[in-house]
Amino acid sequence: MAREHILVVDDEEDILELVRYNLAREGYKVTCAATGEEALKKADSEAIDLMVLDLMLPGINGLEVARKLKGAAKTRNLPIVMLTAKGEEADVVSGLELGADDYITKPFSPRVLAARVRAVLRRRTREVAEEAPVLERHGLVIHPGRRSVLLEGKPIKLTFTEFQVLYSLARRPGWVFTRSQIVDAVRGDDYPVTDRSVDVQIVGLRKKLGPRGDTIETVRGVGYRFKEEPE
């Protein structure tokens, strides 16, 4: 089941509910916003994997929302699927030039929308894997594209989930992740992680990392972090 977090932005309550219902049925975590201002706040404060964005919004319109998102370092890579009743060629071009990944006009088929969302997420996942940097931490070499981990030059065999957890923590040494944030960072159709099993994944990781198991530190009452390297 998919676990990506999608933000749906539309000021029409019936459309908002239609999109929310159908994407939730596909297994996505769905958050809704009715205004551009609300959408920007949620995109900045929550871990969003894709935005379904209407153009005709009260206050800040959809094109301005997209412009602000693409102009901010934190959200510039957020995939956007435009969903709007405006089907004129100029609006399509404007949205795509701002960086939208796809464009669907109303009325629309919920099945088509879900298929487009899946396609954009698959494409973005491949791009991220290809562009993500190789990490070198405490004698570990973590390669996201190859999904490989070397310890002092020797390979360590990790499960899909263990690799995702390790890479997510190691990307930001010293940063404390809650169990829920660790869960949100894990992707895949065979997604087995829940809040309660994060501790089990960490125990397994530490065991496989052997002498480097202590690089994953427990922050009591909060979660886990990857140890910072001494300067």
In this predicted structure, the answer to whether residue 1 has a pLDDT above a threshold of 70 is: no
Q: Is the pLDDT of residue 74 over 50?
A: yes
Amino acid at 166: L
The per-residue pLDDT for range 170-225, each reduced to its tens digit, is 988 999 988 888 877 765 444 455 666 788 889 989 999 999 999 999 999 889 99
SS3 137: strand
Kindly state the tokens that stand for 117: 């969302």
pLDDT at 188: 43
- What is the spatial distance between Cα 81 and Cα 23, in angstroms, rounded to a whole number? 13
Distance CA 151, CA 153 (A): 5
Average pLDDT rounded to a whole number, residues 135-153: 88
Indicate whether 2 pLDDT > 60.
no
Would you state the pLDDT for residue 105? Answer: 85
Q: CB-based burial of residue 208 (10 Å sphere; 0-12 exposed, 13-18 middle, 19+ buried)? A: middle
How confident is the model over 10-51, as pLDDT tens digits?
Answer: 999 999 999 999 999 998 999 999 999 999 999 988 889 999
Q: Which candidate, 31, 47, 121, 136, places its Cα nearest to that of 81?
A: 121
Mean pLDDT to the nearest integer, 64-92: 84
Look at the domain 135-226 and name its fold. Answer: Arc Repressor Mutant, subunit A (1.10.10)
CATH of domain 5-130: 3.40.50.2300
| pLDDT at residue 211 in the model | 92
* Helix segments in the chain, DSSP class H: 13-25, 36-45, 62-71, 89-98, 110-131, 160-170, 179-185, 198-209
Q: What is the pLDDT of residues 94-118, one digit of tens each?
A: 888 888 888 888 888 999 999 999 8
Higher pLDDT, 203 or 128: 203
The whole-chain average pLDDT of the chain stands at 85
Nearest to 81 by CA among 96, 95, 101: 101
Q: Which of 116-125, 156-165, 205-214 has the highest mean pLDDT?
A: 205-214
pLDDT bin (cut points 50, 70, 90) of residue 162 is: confident
Q: Which has more confidence, 88 or 32?
A: 32
User: Domain coordinates of the chain in residue numbers?
Assistant: 5-130, 135-226
Give the tokens for residue 106: 């109303």
Reply yes or no on whether the pLDDT at 133 is more than 90: no
Contacts of 41 (CB under 8 A, 6+ apart): none
The Cα 91–Cα 62 span in angstroms is 11
- Greatest CA span in the chain, whole angstroms? 61
